[in-house]
Amino acid sequence: MFIEVAKTDDLAPGGMKAVEVEGKEVVICNYNGKIYALERRCGHMGAPLEMGTLEDNILTCPLHHAQFDITTGEALSGPIYDDSGDALTDNFSRWIAKLEPHIKTYDLKTYEVKLEGNRIRVNI
């Protein structure tokens, strides 16, 4: 079922916008004038992807820099970690730093998009 989620004017070229559709979190992306829709949460640790960056068709997560192809949802790379040697200040941070590289990065679900005039509709 296609549901209107935004207007084309709401999404600048290269822009992203988070929406909720039928209880699902979705991020819509404008790549070269074509609109794509995919799961909003990173396939690594669930960060909100609209806070990341979109360069061409590559969406980069704001938290650990995992990258996804918005046209397919494919995870192109896992997280990137700072190996500068900066000391972590507490046990929790050290535990998280050891745990994160072992968490798999999953592909993202994509949704079919239909434009009707200036309305962006997503098939949920």
Q: List pLDDT tens digits, range 69-93.
A: 999 999 998 877 655 544 445 666 6
**Residue 68 predicted with pLDDT over 90:** yes
What values do phi and psi take at 100, rounded to 5?
-55, -45
Domain segments of the chain as ranges: 2-123
Q: List pLDDT tens digits, range 12-44.
A: 999 999 999 999 999 999 999 999 999 999 988
Which residues fall within 8 angstroms of residue 73, CB to CB, at 6 or more apart?
Answer: 38, 39, 107, 108, 109, 110
Q: List pLDDT tens digits, range 49-59.
A: 999 999 999 99
35 and 46 Cβ atoms separated by less than 8 Å: no
Which residues fall within 8 angstroms of residue 105, CB to CB, at 6 or more apart?
Answer: 42, 43, 44, 66, 75, 77, 78, 79
pLDDT of residue 85: 45
User: CATH number of the domain at 2-123, please?
Assistant: 2.102.10.10
